[in-house]
Amino acid sequence: MAKKQKFPHLLGSKWTARQRTFGWRHFQVANRKNEGDRVYAELVASCDPEARFWIDARNLKNRDLWAAGWQTLEEIELLTEIDRGDGPIEELEVLLPDDLKASTHE
Gap between the Cα atoms of 10 and 49, Å rounded: 18
Tens digits of pLDDT across the chain (106 residues) = 666 778 889 999 999 999 999 999 999 999 999 999 999 999 999 999 999 999 999 999 998 899 999 999 888 888 777 777 765 545 445 556 655 555 544 4
Q: What is the pLDDT of residue 102?
A: 54
> Which residues lie below 8 Å from residue 75, measured CB to CB, with a gap of 6+?
67
* Sequence letter at residue 9: H
